[in-house]
Structure 1
Amino acid sequence: MTAAPVVLTTDEPAVASPAAPARNDRRPSWPSWLVRIGSVAAAIALWQLLTANDVRLWLRFDTLPTVTEIVHAFGNRLGTQDYWLDLGQSLIRILTGFALAAIAGVVTGILLGRSPRFANVFGPLTELARPIPAIAIVPVAILLFPSDEAGIVFITFLAAYFPIMVSTRHAVRALPTLWEDSVRTLGGSRWDVIARVVLPGILPGVFGGLSVGIGVAWICVISAEMISGRLGVGYRTWQAYTVLAYPEVFVGIITIGVLGFGTSAAIELIGRRVTRWLPRGQEARQ
């Protein structure tokens, strides 16, 4: 007489399922937001304490403006037309250069990852140019382009292009070949592979490159404006430094930080929306 076999059913894992959303919930709760806001408020309070009391240890806080002086200067700048002109000019430059870099970076990244001929011709050129800081090309851009505006856009383009291109290339090369073979087995053409496998599969890598690219682009566009610009947040910040208007300098620094944070957050939001079909995106929404 043999013992009855033990049958494992699929009902047991369901017992742990109610706790799954709690483990997979990645959205910040209100205590997390309070901690984040509190950390910023504490940093501002510490800055005010050190500068108002002219603290001079190893760092010379007595030479820096206080928070109240910066807030007063910020209020005055918000009421001027030049502030909004500079803001709009910097946004136009970075959005133009970044958009061109996104298109060129994704296209060339896909070609480098899928076409050996294109990689043999274009790959060495990108690897030679990639280590060169984009801001070092400013003298070349001044000589190459007929206007400072086109040169600054070109610098912004270069700064964002290489992170996007490299991330796209790596994402293409990391795609499992089984996916492409499955589409071809079902009679799909090369364009079907691109549309159904490559483009959806590389989206996480592409948005990773876009996120890095926008940050580097802001660094370079501000630096280019300081060197050869006529308008823009970087230009106005440097002008304030030359006349020793230090509160105005910090107005520019804060404006740059807010603009960089806003554009990066927008890319992150778009990336989460576009890749919501990914497993981690589904877990985050539970």
Structure 2
Amino acid sequence: MKPNVVLYRKIPDDLLAKLQEQCQVTYFDGINADNRAAFIKALAEAEGVIGVGLQFSDELMAAAPKLKAVSTISVGYDDFNVAKLSARGIALMHTPGVLTETTADTIFTLVLCAARRITELAEKVKQGEWQGSIGPDWYGSNVHGKTIGILGMGRIGYAVAKRAHFGFGMNVIYYNRSAKPEAEQQLNARRCSLDELLADADFVCNVLPLMPETRHIINRDTLAKMKPSAFFINGGRGASVDEAALVEALKSGVIKGAGLDVFETEPLPVNSELLSLPNVVALPHIGSATHETRYEMSKMAVENLLAALKGDLTKHCVNPDILR
């Protein structure tokens, strides 16, 4: 008997076919008000769930009494209560590693775009404002040779640091719970306190995971410790930032600019003050959004789910201790 699986995000046809070969699949192309009741009904028989972009609430967990494994098509798993899943013996699978380089590319793109005012000046050209030789009011800031401060030296943080060190001759400093000898030896990176990083960095790049201690780690007080010439780059989690405080800092000149791929509320509301500021580059959470990477993420998520349903939690399991 094939296990029942609920899929709640569109995946490539060949991967769907692979999943259907081994499972009885109920498919939803995203969950909304119109299909939520049907989704909850389908969870009643589900042994596996796969998708992304849905808060897996207590209500949904209660609706899935037979659930054995959840596979998220993402490296982050903020949408799931790991403790509650573990208490029920439900494996949570994710997709680390595969999106590292693509996300690092996006983060460094934000560094360059914010520093050189790419989107702001490109819009001026489109609006016909380029009428002659440009003056200082159109100048940007150097990236090469500056100091980049990385909050979170995991896989993505290290990939960003490599680009900064080898590509742009930048001085790398980082804030992390533990030392990263490889970064220190290969990239001449220096671990420091949060306060020291904020004071010294020309670019503060957040790639921290979201935890109670990192929620609003960027706030009015921490922004005030940055240089007035510094830029804040967020490729980690939107809730790491107090957006009201960030808006205030950008408007008042506490910092020079920001490049943001993640936000407290997504999609970003059209009336967000961030969108009215010329010194903000805002992207629609595209960190891993290339055709190649998203395919590999879906492929890994499918393989993760199939393995977990067979009791194999040796790869990419957030809570493998449930087998003990």
| TM-score, normalised via structure 2 length | 0.24
Question: If each structure's strand is expressed as a fraction of its own residues, which one has the higher value?
Answer: 2
Between structure 1 and structure 2, the one with the greater Rg is 1
| TM-score, normalised via structure 1 length | 0.26
Q: Higher relative CO (CA 8 A, sep ≥ 6), structure 1 or 2?
A: 1
Question: If each structure's helix is expressed as a fraction of its own residues, which one has the higher value?
Answer: 1
